């Protein structure tokens, strides 16, 4: 038989471990918001599902057809050294003008920080049956003087570019993961947009911050 002096410390250890587990569980909880669930840790909501989804998509996406351009020069940045030149009618300036003219006068102060371009002739940009190059697509991330920051889809055919009204995300995504929330939102609102372009959206940090006073 185990001596009593050994049993007593073991019981204390088990009680301490049980108390630690119960305390940890008391800090956890689930909260339903909108159409999904958040894990609450010490009262702070965490979008574990969204972060996992975004990490998986980041690991499996193919961004070889997407050009990330310098908004000030419309030159490719990062990625492979050799890129197909942009056609004259698909200049970044047209997409930026479309954004600045979308909701004047406030939209005229747009400062574009990220500009992604879906190259014409990519498989997903080819309309069925015809095989002709489809429209040019842009994703712009911008801030304004008196508006919330935005991620917008711009569609361009020839020299004419326009913001897709349904494809505008505005403001913070908190408490949701920015990549999950914005990519999913745009995919649901604008299903005709190239899926690979949407999967390659990398939201700026401003979308994961609390709203700023305007």
Q: What is the pLDDT of residues 7-39, one digit of tens each?
A: 556 666 776 665 555 444 444 455 566 666 655
Alpha-carbon 10 to chain mean position: 51
Identify whether the C-beta of residue 79 lies closer than 8 Å to the C-beta of residue 56: no
Mean pLDDT of 125-137: 59
156-197: pLDDT as tens digits: 988 889 999 999 999 999 888 999 999 999 999 999 999 999
Task: Provide the residue count of the chain.
Answer: 214
Exposed / middle / buried, residue 117 (Cβ in 10 Å: 0-12, 13-18, 19+)? buried
Whether 81 shows a pLDDT value over 50: the answer reads no
Short-list 200, 129, 212, CA closest to 170: 212
DSSP letter (8 states) at residue 146: S
What is the SS3 assignment for 149-196?
Answer: CEEEEEEEECCEEEEEEEEEEECCCCCCCHHHHHHHHHHHHCCCCCHH
pLDDT given for residue 43 in this prediction:
63
- Res. 130 pLDDT band, cuts 50 70 90: very low
Identify whether the C-beta of residue 171 lies closer than 8 Å to the C-beta of residue 45: no
């Amino acid at each position: 038989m185990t001596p009593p002096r050994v049993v007593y410390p073991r019981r204390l250890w088990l009680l301490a471990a049980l108390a630690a587990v119960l305390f940890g569980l008391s800090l956890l909880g689930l909260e339903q918001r909108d159409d999904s669930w958040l894990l609450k840790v010490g009262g702070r909501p965490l979008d574990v599902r969204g972060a996992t989804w975004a990490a998986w998509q980041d690991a499996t996406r193919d961004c070889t057809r997407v050009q990330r351009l310098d908004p000030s020069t419309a030159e490719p940045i990062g990625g492979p050294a050799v890129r197909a030149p942009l056609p004259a009618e698909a200049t970044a300036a047209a997409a930026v003008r479309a954004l600045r003219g979308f909701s004047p006068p406030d939209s005229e102060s747009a400062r574009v920080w990220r500009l992604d371009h879906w190259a014409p002739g990519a498989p997903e940009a080819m309309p069925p049956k015809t095989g002709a190059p489809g429209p040019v697509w842009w994703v712009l991330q911008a801030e304004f003087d008196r508006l919330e920051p935005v991620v917008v889809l711009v569609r361009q055919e020839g020299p004419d570019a326009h913001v897709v009204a349904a494809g505008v995300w505005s403001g913070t995504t908190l408490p949701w993961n920015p990549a999950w929330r914005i990519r999913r939102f745009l995919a649901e609102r604008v299903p005709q947009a190239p899926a690979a372009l949407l999967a390659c959206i990398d939201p700026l940090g401003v979308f994961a911050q609390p709203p700023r006073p305007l």
